[in-house]
């Protein structure tokens, strides 16, 4: 059986998995985002040819195409460099703020490294020095910076300063920021807001749009005759209910196709199983992607839903792993962010004047979260180290 699977024999469904894994290498157009792309292209042309700087904030829920559009723009600019002399001196830097740690130092270090071509330390340098390195790296050129998940930066202390310095810099720098948090502007100071250009809103896809998008993925990625219109419509309808998430729709189609491999046809049962798999994988990946202190906070909540008690356990964990613990206020902010991510659910209980107000946080699926944490800490931290925390 495995030999036939390895060879991709009878009943194969997937023609080109790269379509689902790296769609930018296949798709040359992005449907339903043409106006956004045109406006961005005009702003970039004015910047490159007329030195008119711009700053855009791409806002929209998960799966509405913000990152896809940003990376598409990035790739198109790289292609235009081969066709237009004025673009040859354009340098681009793409940074996912959450993935690099979210701190001002981490984001600036990554930007400086990409723009200068040299490794820049994340610690031991003040913010002004990072900005100077970025300025030096962009001297006599034009730079376009992409800050994905910029809300993780803005919510950190000093994050506003980073944006302000970049936006008001005398260097030739333009910025595209991307955020799933449509209220991210509320975290910005007035001086930052005054430097920002207009927000670009990515509206959720409706069921018909999702079905069209899926049809393109199916056309390029699946073998003809292994799916039908009803299956695409079913997946589109499910994904449309969850704020029109195209990323989820595509992932469901790919997973259903994998499950149907060997049978020659994607059926409803494959999609239903793909939905279960997707939700489990999404939670586990979300936990694994959390910064270290978020993971410690989450681990402490598994033992105690009372946020005050959990902070004490978190502090013990930090001491054990030689990490400086965050204040209760910052810890509480992290819990609120975990609630926003859908990993925990916050409950506020008012016990009256005598009892005061208590904050609780329930971990939604303790077993899966614990497994994800265990896998994350497997190489660097012994899981047994958690067991005796709080016993001293």
pLDDT at 252: 97
pLDDT at 389: 46
| CATH topology identical between 33-201 and 290-386 | no
315 marked as part of a ligand binding site: no
Phi, psi of 98 (to 5 degrees): -65, -40
64 marked as part of a ligand binding site: yes
The first and second tokens of residue 160, run together, are 């506003």
116 marked as part of a ligand binding site: no
User: Can you give the residue ranges of every domain in the chain?
Assistant: 33-201, 205-286, 290-386
pLDDT at 273: 96
Burial class (CB in 10 A: 0-12, 13-18, 19+), 187: middle
For 338-361, letters b (16+ CB in 10 Å) and e give: bbeeebbebeeeeeeeeeeeebbb
pLDDT at 98: 87
- In the structure, what pLDDT confidence band is assigned to residue 355 with cuts at 50, 70 and 90? low
The Cα 273–Cα 293 span in angstroms is: 34
Is the CATH number of domain 290-386 1.10.10.10? Answer: yes
Is the CATH number of domain 33-201 3.20.20.210? Answer: no
How confident is the model over 180-218, as pLDDT tens digits?
988 899 889 898 999 898 899 999 999 999 999 999 999
- In the structure, what pLDDT confidence band is assigned to residue 5 with cuts at 50, 70 and 90? low
Q: Regarding predicted confidence, which is higher, 301 or 126?
A: 301
68 marked as part of a ligand binding site: yes
Can you give the C-alpha Rg of the chain in angstroms? Answer: 24
- In the structure, what pLDDT confidence band is assigned to residue 314 with cuts at 50, 70 and 90? very high
The Cα 282–Cα 288 span in angstroms is: 10
Handedness of CA 373, 374, 378, 383 (dihedral sign): positive
At residue 259, does pLDDT exceed 70? yes
67 marked as part of a ligand binding site: yes
Chain centroid to CA 315: how far? Answer: 28
376 marked as part of a ligand binding site: no
At residue 319, does pLDDT exceed 60? yes
pLDDT at 379: 42
Average pLDDT over residues 82-96: 96
Task: Determine the CATH number of domain 205-286.
Answer: 1.10.8.60
At residue 345, does pLDDT exceed 70? yes
How confident is the model over 361-372, as pLDDT tens digits?
889 788 888 888
- In the structure, what pLDDT confidence band is assigned to residue 35 with cuts at 50, 70 and 90? very high
pLDDT at 64: 96
Average pLDDT over residues 266-270: 98
Q: Regarding predicted confidence, which is higher, 102 or 388?
A: 102
- In the structure, what pLDDT confidence band is assigned to residue 385 with cuts at 50, 70 and 90? very low
Average pLDDT over residues 87-113: 93
The Cα 133–Cα 59 span in angstroms is: 29
At residue 298, does pLDDT exceed 50? yes
């Amino acid at each position: 059986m495995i030999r036939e699977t390895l060879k991709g024999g009878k009943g194969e469904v997937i023609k080109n998995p790269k379509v689902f894994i790296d769609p930018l290498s296949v798709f040359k157009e992005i449907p339903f985002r043409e106006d956004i792309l045109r406006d961005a292209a005009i702003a970039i042309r004015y910047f490159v040819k007329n030195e008119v700087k711009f700053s855009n904030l791409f806002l929209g829920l998960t799966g509405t195409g913000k990152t896809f559009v940003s990376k598409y723009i990035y790739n198109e600019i790289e292609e235009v460099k081969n066709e237009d002399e004025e673009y040859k001196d354009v340098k681009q830097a793409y940074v996912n703020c959450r993935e690099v740690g979210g701190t001002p130092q981490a984001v600036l270090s990554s930007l400086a490294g990409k723009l200068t071509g040299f490794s820049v330390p994340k610690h031991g340098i003040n913010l002004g020095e990072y900005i100077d390195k970025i300025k030096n790296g962009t001297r006599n050129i034009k730079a376009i910076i992409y800050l994905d998940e910029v809300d993780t930066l803005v919510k950190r202390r000093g994050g506003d300063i980073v944006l302000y310095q970049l936006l008001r810099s005398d260097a030739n720098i333009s910025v595209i920021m991307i955020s799933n948090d449509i209220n991210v502007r509320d975290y910005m100071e007035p001086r930052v807001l005054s430097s920002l250009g207009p927000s670009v809103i990515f509206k959720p896809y409706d069921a018909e749009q999702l079905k069209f998008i899926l049809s393109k993925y199916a056309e390029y990625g699946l073998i003809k005759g292994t799916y039908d219109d009803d299956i695409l419509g079913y997946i589109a309808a499910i994904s449309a209910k969850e704020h029109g998430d195209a990323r989820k729709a595509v992932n469901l189609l790919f997973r259903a196709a994998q499950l149907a491999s060997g049978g020659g046809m994607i059926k409803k049962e494959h999609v239903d199983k793909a939905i279960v798999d997707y939700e489990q994988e999404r939670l586990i990946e979300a936990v694994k992607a959390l910064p270290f202190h978020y993971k410690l906070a989450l681990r402490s909540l598994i033992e105690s839903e009372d946020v005050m008690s959990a902070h004490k356990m978190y502090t013990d964990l930090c001491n054990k792993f030689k990490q400086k613990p965050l204040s209760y206020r910052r810890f509480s902010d992290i819990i609120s962010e975990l609630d926003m991510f859908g990993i925990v659910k916050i409950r506020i209980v008012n016990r009256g004047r005598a009892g005061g107000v208590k904050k609780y946080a329930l971990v939604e699926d303790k077993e899966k979260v614990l497994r994800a944490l265990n896998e994350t800490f497997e190489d660097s931290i012994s899981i047994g180290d958690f067991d005796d925390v709080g016993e001293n």
